[in-house]
Every structure is written in structure tokens, then in C-alpha cells.
A and B are shown apart, each in its own frame.
Chain A
Amino acid sequence: MVPTGWYLALSAVLFAIGTVGVLVRRNVIVIFMAIELMLNAVNLTFVALARQLGTVDGQVVVFFTMTVAASEAAVGLAIILAVFRNRATVNADELASLRW
């Protein structure tokens, strides 16, 4: 039986990789995928702690996270499509019109 702390440590590493992905990549779709990676790392934390506590509440929260992630992916990708149609780019550095 692997201790719960190991699962939490694994999810911390995955979360950090997702954070680095958001910071180093400029392609908005890849940034989006890195955000999905971070969401999943947190899901792993919820499931591991639910097992630790012997309740299913953590798993129910993961269910809601998945719903929110699905909505976020649908709306986010629609925004990316709309932006691409107007500006013909998905590079975050070239999409700086709103920056002061």
C-alpha cells in the first residue's frame, strides 16, 4: 500500500509542470492544455485525500471539476477560434491589444 503522501507529491509535481507550461509556451492552445494538466493534478489530490478520509466527497468534487473543465474547454476553444478568425494567430504575444 503506497502512502497517501506519495500521491499528493505526484500531483504537486504534475501541477508544477503545468505551471511551467503556462509560463514558457506562447501558443494559446498549448497554454490551455497546460491548464487542463493543472486541473487534473488537483483532481488527483482530491481523490487521494478522499481515499485517506474514507469518504466520497472528494470524488464528488472531482465530478464538478470535470464539468467546469468541459465548459471551460468549450468556451475557451470557441474564443480561440473567434480570435483566430480575426487575427490569424494563436501566439499570445501577438494578442496584446488589451495590454496597457
Chain B
Amino acid sequence: MGPLTFAALAAGLVASALTVVLHPNPVKSALALVVTLFLLAVVFVFLEAHMIAALQVIVYAGAIMVLFLFVIMLLNLQDDAAETRGSDRIALRAGAWLGGGVLAGELVTLFLRLPLAAPSAAPEGYGGAAVVARSLFTDYLLPFELTSILLLIAVVGAVVLAQRREA
């Protein structure tokens, strides 16, 4: 990926991420988050993580964001303009932006100074389903099995929490 492609992708990512944080309407925040996740999938393709890019689109931009949109619409949320651009709590918001700016500046300076050599050419099949799956089912077999228990607990927990109790 050339520097120009990267700059365009980075600009799109930062713009959509800021929209997630700043837009008063939660539905539009959620849609901006879908755009962010999709652009990240594009970046993953450029980093030769093809399997992860596909999972990002299917699982994140697909399944998880549908869950978010579903809950937002179920709750029928309205715009909250006061908290995004009103005079509400100026000191706290200024402090948060200042802190976030310092965090970003510090990390960017640090990362750009890291003495990283240019990566060598990726091995054959790098980032594809076969290579990732081989690592997943050999070196990481125990964590993989544990995630199945985690997902089971999450499903049961979500059902128990969200069900309507007749008191």
C-alpha cells in the first residue's frame, strides 16, 4: 500500500471514529462505527490478514453492529444534543479532549520512533484461513476451547438478563 492510499484510509478512519464519538444521534453513531470497522477490514487486507479481514466484516460489522442497532431502536433513543455540543460540563469535556490529545500525541511519537526494520516478504499463504487455523488448532487449542465455554456463558447470561420477569 502506498503512502497516499494509507493517508486516505487513515483520514477516513479518523473521521468516522470522530463521528461515532461526536454525533448526537446514537443510530448515526452506530452507522459511523460500521464504516470504521469496514475501513479497518480494508487496512487488515493491506496487512495481509485476509482471514481476519473477512471475520471483521462478517462478525463485527455484521453481527455485533446489528445487535447494537437493534437495541438502540428497541429503546427508541432520541438525539442528545446537550451532551455533544451544549454548554453542559465544559471543564470535563475540555479535560477529556486534552487528555486524549496528550495520549494520542505521546503514543504516536513513541510508535514513529520505534526502530522497526521493514518487514520481510510474507511467507506463502500468510494470513489465509489454512495458516491461521493451523496455529489456532495446535498452539492455541486450549484458549480456543475455552472461548466456546465463554460464548455459552454469554448466551445464557444474555437470555437470563434480558428476559421479562413476571413479578
Contacts and interface: CB of A to CB of B under 8 A. Distances in A.
Given A37-B17, A40-B60, A47-B47, A23 B68 contact: no
Interface string A2-31: 111111111011111111110111110110
A51 B52 CA distance: 12
Given A29-B26, A37-B17, A78 B107 contact: no
A74 B14 CA distance: 26
Interface string B19-34: 0110000100110010
A37 to B, nearest CB: 6
Interface in A65-90: 66-75, 77-82, 84-85, 90
Interface residues of B, number: 85
Nearest to A82: B161
Interface of A: 1-10, 12-21, 23-27, 29-30, 32-34, 36-37, 40, 43-44, 47-48, 50-54, 56-57, 59-60, 62-64, 66-75, 77-82, 84-85, 90-91
Given A63-B136, A64-B143, 13 more contacts: A2-B2, A10-B43, A14-B36, A17-B21, A27-B26, A44-B43, A51-B122, A54-B126, A60-B132, A62-B49, A74-B158, A77-B158, A78-B159
